[in-house]
Structure 1
Amino acid sequence: MKNLEIHVITDGKQTVEELTKQILRFHEEADYIHIRERTKTASELMEIVSILITGGVPKKKIVINDRVDAAILNDLFNIHLPGHSFSIEKVRKLRPSLRIGRSVHSLQEAIEAEEAGADYLLFGHVFTTNSKAGLAPRGIPQFAEICERIEIPVIAIGGMTPETVQKLSGLKAGGVAVMSYVMSNSEPRHALREIKKSLTEVKSNEKAL
């Protein structure tokens, strides 16, 4: 049984210096680090990737959100496509070797993304989160249904903490994605270790079923 993945997603609130400094503090504890910086320029994205690689972050961990050009120019292995982004088929044709993720918000979107050739899905927001203030969470039942119907890994996002992660016990989750819990944390390495501890318990419960 594969380990449950931990994806950390940047929140677009930090400068290049602050962002890279924070990532370099915790990168060893994460499986994937999504650079989701919608207001950063192309040159800033290139600078971020360069600093991270120079600082010891493996290329295989770095995921560029939306900006296919930045992923290709940095010869990276991962791209994550928001629902409004390029089609999976076009990106796959352009660079067949990329690991392509897609954000989905319903079972139908999940089915379509899997059929289009996505390697994994991000579904959310599962729990209440400040980044989606005022929007009701989609909840565990919908996430569970997608996990049952989809063969590729489905990553839960939205309100992920050590406590909420434990509520995923018994589900066929592919892992979790965290944003503010790590990116805004003064002790991001410790925060990720707590998430990892909860995931270990979730995995143990899955084995017991």
Structure 2
Amino acid sequence: MEIHVITDGVQTVKEIIKKILMIHEEVDFLHIREKKKSASEVMEIVSALLENGVSRDKIIINDRLDVVQLQQLSNIHLPGNSFSIQTVKEFMPSLKIGRSVHTLEEAIASEKAGADYLMFGHLFATKSKAKLPPRGVELLEDICRSVSIPVIAIGGIVPETVSKLSNIKLGGMAIMSYVMASDNPSFALQQIKESLLEVEKNEQTL
């Protein structure tokens, strides 16, 4: 199962760079999701990561197609209110595109539109979405059964909730605050991985 780490929008540019450099070799993808930062700040983050050995193929930019172009990256993640998938595909056919979805209907439509993967959430209660009820595991299972492209779960994923994802054919899980807000992101990530390993062991014994 893929491990995605997403920046949480509250760290400084220097903090983001420092923390990502601590964990980049241990994850599959790194999402730069910084809606309040300027284009130049996002460019600075990406440039620093590339200069310090982070794989270009691991970096996924949220929404900022201009940064993707200028940095010659291969991945973009489109929020539900962003560009249409078809428009981006026509403009940059080789780009790998992810789409955030919140309903089964959105998931099916996004796959038909050409999305390469989906991100569904928020799954569990989380401080970043404190006023919104979690969408839950049942809807996640429905979406995973209904589409053929990978589905990445997000929202409230911590070591204690990883076990609730057992026996779901997920493409991966995305972690935001638990890793990025931690003073020791490497240790936080290791805790997630240990919980995931335990789940996988239990599934194999069933």
TM-score of the superposition, structure 2-length normalised? 0.96
Matches within 5 A, 1:27-176: 27-176=24-173
Q: Which amino acid aligns with 1:137?
A: P
Aligned residue for 2:198? 201
Q: Which amino acid aligns with 2:39?
A: A
- TM-superposed CA distance for 1:163, in Å, is 1.4
Tell me the alpha carbon deviations over residues 5-50 of structure 1, each in whole angstroms, 9 at most, x when there is no partner. 1111111112111111111111111111100001111111111100
- TM-superposed CA distance for 1:160, in Å, is 0.4
CA distance in 2, matches of 1:136, 1:107: 17
CA distance in 1, matches of 2:75, 2:38: 19
Aligned residue for 1:179? 176
Aligned partner of 1:23 among 20, 24, 28: 20
RMSD of the TM alignment (CA)?
1.2
Whether the aligned pair in 2 keeps the contact of 1:126 and 1:158 (CA below 8 Å) is: yes
CA distance in 2, matches of 1:208, 1:91: 44
What secondary structure sits across from 2:120 in the alignment? strand
- TM-superposed CA distance for 1:207, in Å, is 4.5
CA distance in 1, matches of 2:126, 2:164: 15
Task: Return 5+ residue gaps in structure 1 as ranges.
Answer: none
Count of residue pairs brought into register by the alignment: 206
- TM-superposed CA distance for 1:205, in Å, is 4.2
CA distance in 1, matches of 2:203, 2:145: 14
CA distance in 2, matches of 1:35, 1:159: 18
CA distance in 1, matches of 2:17, 2:77: 19
- TM-superposed CA distance for 1:204, in Å, is 3.8
Whether the aligned pair in 2 keeps the contact of 1:171 and 1:206 (CA below 8 Å) is: no
